[in-house]
Amino acid sequence: MKYWLLKSEPDAWSWDNQVKEGASMWDGVRNYQARNNLKEMKKNDLCFFYHSVTERSIVGIVKVVKEYYSDPTDKTGRFVVVDVKATKKLKNPVSLDQIKENSKLKNIALVKQSRLSVMPLKKTEWQTIIKMSN
């Protein structure tokens, strides 16, 4: 199993939207590195759901329920989607500031490549963020 972080602007697609929808496509990715990360995802991989822009915090966990396929919103045919399903709301959101303050997380893409919308996490980074949320 691998671990990931997915970013979404809450005005466009929020944690509450994800919970209400159940399983849904993670679409609209238009960055090649993020696309390649989507292609690496496997069924049952876990992803943090991150509210970007205004909140800048991890708020929940989603699970990959369908591996990548062509993004129906992409007319070029270059980009892909995965289907994810909400599994758990974090007890306490973990903010970007908290992440930046934790030396164990100084090298994650959220800090190093702040514009990347789909990024991998190491198991130790995942576990650190889980601990921070409790």
pLDDT (tens digit, 0 to 9) for every residue of the chain, 134 residues total? 999 999 999 999 999 999 999 999 999 999 999 999 999 999 999 999 999 999 999 999 999 999 999 999 999 999 999 999 999 999 999 999 999 999 999 999 999 998 999 999 999 999 999 999 99
Which is the CATH superfamily of the domain at 3-133?
A: ph1033 like domains (3.10.590.10)
pTM exceeding 0.85: yes
Q: At a CB cut-off of 8 Å and minimum separation 6, what does 77 contact?
A: 70
Q: Facing residues of 49 across strands?
A: 6, 60
Question: Which CA distances in Å does 88 have to 18, 35, 96?
Answer: 11, 25, 19
